[in-house]
Structure formats: C-alpha cells, structure tokens
Amino acid sequence: MVHIGGTNGKGSVAVMVYEALRASGARVALYLSPHLVEVRERIIVDDRPITEDAFAMWTELLVPRIETEDASFFEAATTIAFADFAARRADIAVVEVGLGGRLDATNVVAPLATAVTRIARDHIEYLGESLTEIAREKAGIAKPGVPFVIGETNPSEAADLARAAAEVGAEVRRVPPDAVYDGPLSLEGRHQRRNAAVAEAVVAALPAPYRPGPAQVRHGFARARLPGRFDRRGKWIFDVAHNPDAVEILIEALTDAAPPRPLHALAGFLDDKDWRASLARLSGAVDTLWATDAPSAPPNRKWDLDVVRRCLAPRIGIRTEADFGRALVDVQQGAATVLVCGSFHTVGDAMARLPGFAPLG
C-alpha cells in the first residue's frame, strides 16, 4: 500500500503514483474518493473498475458485518475495495485518504510510504479549527519507520506535519517548497507540477522492489488523468474546487490556460464549506456566475440558495437557479467556455447529464 492524504491535491498525487507504478510493470490498484457519478469509479485495478457483479457480491457478503458494526458507507466501500484488490491479485495499491487521516477508514493499512500533500481549512467540524489541529489529524497516517512525504509549502504547517510524524517514529521527507516537476504532464495547471514533485518524492521513497525508474516515472506521469480536476473537454471545464484554497488554485489555472471568453461558471457548494469566500473569489475570475443545487447532494448538507440570493448575489452579481437541469442549460447561453465547479456532487451531476462525459462512459 501507498497511503496519500491532504486537503487538496491528494487525488492527483495518487493517480500519478499509480501510473508510475503501472509503467514499471506492477499490477496496481487505486482507491479514490469520493466518486463523481458511479461508486465503481473508486475501486480500480489496472484501469479496470470493479464490476457491478463483484460490487454486489461483496456487498451481499458483508451486509451482516456492516449492520453489526453500524458501518458508514465509506467504511463499507473501503472494505469492499480492499477485498476486491486482494481478489484481483494486485501487487500494490495506492490509497487516497477519505477525510483527515488519523481516524479515517483507510488508516488500517500497513503502507510502504505515506504522504500529505497540503493543508487547508476544510472539514473543521471533524478535524479542528486551526491548521495545526488539522495537520495533526492528517499526519495520523504516519507509521513508525515508514517514509512520510510532506508536500506542504507553508513552513509552519510543514513543521506541524513533520513534528507529528516524528513523534511516531516515521521517516520524515520534506519536498522543498520551490520544487516542481519539469517533465511532461497530462494533468493541466501550474499546481499539478507541484503535485507531480510530491508524487515523484513518494515514488522515490518506495523500497527498491517497487520503486519505478526515472523513465517509468516520466511515462506514468505523462498519461495520468483524473476526471474533474481542471478537466477540459471541448468548451467545458470541470473542477471539484470546493473550498477557498482549491478555488484559488482553479483561478490560477484559468489565468494560465486563458480559455476563450465569455467564460460562464456554474457553481454548487455544500453548506459545510466556506462557500461565501469561494463564490466571492470565483466571481472575479469569470464573466457570469450561476449558483445552483446539485440533485445528488445530501439534503442535510445542501446550501441554501435563498441565503445566497439574499446575502451574496446582490453584491457580486450571482444568478441563482435551483433547478439543476435548467441551470445547466442557461449557463451555456452565449458562453465560449463553461466552467462547472464546486462539490463532487455538482461536477458529477453535470457529467452524468452531458452525453459521453461520465467517467465510466
């Protein structure tokens, strides 16, 4: 196992490590979360998602334990993933942390290497109000004697991560703050060069039997793809930037890419995110901004569009449309480029409605 956490960037780092390992000839599994359209996106072995039959079989087998343990959806999905990886005889698995680290369901692994990409304020109701508290939770994946790669560039947060990892006897490896990868990448955006430098450090931390060589790293990184991360498809751009830190990175990527204007954006956030700051920053980077509700968003976490309409729309010129289908049509009118961003629910629901855009086809 290779175990990768962090507030933002962990999915991108995971897929790059996964592809580098595949280029070395290993049979590699990948566990990502959350999914965009279909749960099977989370559980991959050598680019093949778990089959519907296999997912149903493992679910039926595990239902008694799920009910006895009162397991969460994520705990059950993680168990199914690890069972599937074993059944499909994966040599090594790259596992993305779901939330935090210390108490995450994935933190049962005995990894060959661990990493935390970067720290930002997110899930504060679970991880703590301060960045120091969040860092300690994320560093909870560190293991005695196991390399722990730190991608965080802020000296204070990086030091918090290093301190927490050292306390358990992990082998701390800090990626220099100015390090970026200079090889070919299929993942777009300046931030992906930093993510690739972190992924390169993770690969270098693996023991010799598993460590890909430089040519394999370059080949793997050049073909690594991750739906929903500055994901350009014709006039569409999809990005699951769902907190202010990620929105800043998205705006940077938009500035560098300079897509054709007018640029219209459709955004949908969950209420437990700092959507006010995210919308305020996003509004200055696009020509027109719609706010909408994602149909698949959990009812108890949906943001209140009436609050958006009353408190924010008059100040920064947001248009609100509760009907997701209508919003998806309206945002295209007069646009040369359409950005869909915010929660995984928003991006996934849009992909599901646009022909040929769903990750699994």
| CATH domain 231-353 topology | Protein-Tyrosine Phosphatase; Chain A (3.90.190)
Give the model's pLDDT for residue 126: 52
**pLDDT digit string (tens) for 9-56?**
999 999 999 999 999 999 999 999 999 999 999 999 999 999 999 999
Distant-in-sequence, close-in-space partners of 264: CB < 8 Å, separation ≥ 6: 286, 287, 288, 289, 290, 331, 332, 333, 334, 335, 337, 338, 339
Nearest to 195 by CA among 14, 342, 22: 14
Give the model's pLDDT for residue 127: 60
DSSP assignment of 275-335 equals HHHHHHHHHTTSSEEEEE--TTS-GGGB--HHHIIIIIHHHHTEEEES-HHHHHHHTTTT-
Cross-sheet strand order for the sheet of 48-49: 48-49, 43-45, 28-31, 92-96, 2-5, 113-116, 147-150, 171-174
Q: Which residue ranges of the chain lie beneath pLDDT 70? A: 121-129
How many angstroms separate the CA atoms of 325 and 309, rounded? 19
- What pTM did the predictor assign? 0.95
Helices (H), 45-182: 52-69, 73-87, 124-127, 131-138, 155-167
| Structural domain spans, the chain | 2-26+91-223, 231-353
Nearest to 136 by CA among 111, 104, 162: 162
Give the model's pLDDT for residue 331: 98
> At 345, which amino acid appears?
H
Which CATH number is associated with domain 2-26+91-223? 3.40.1190.10
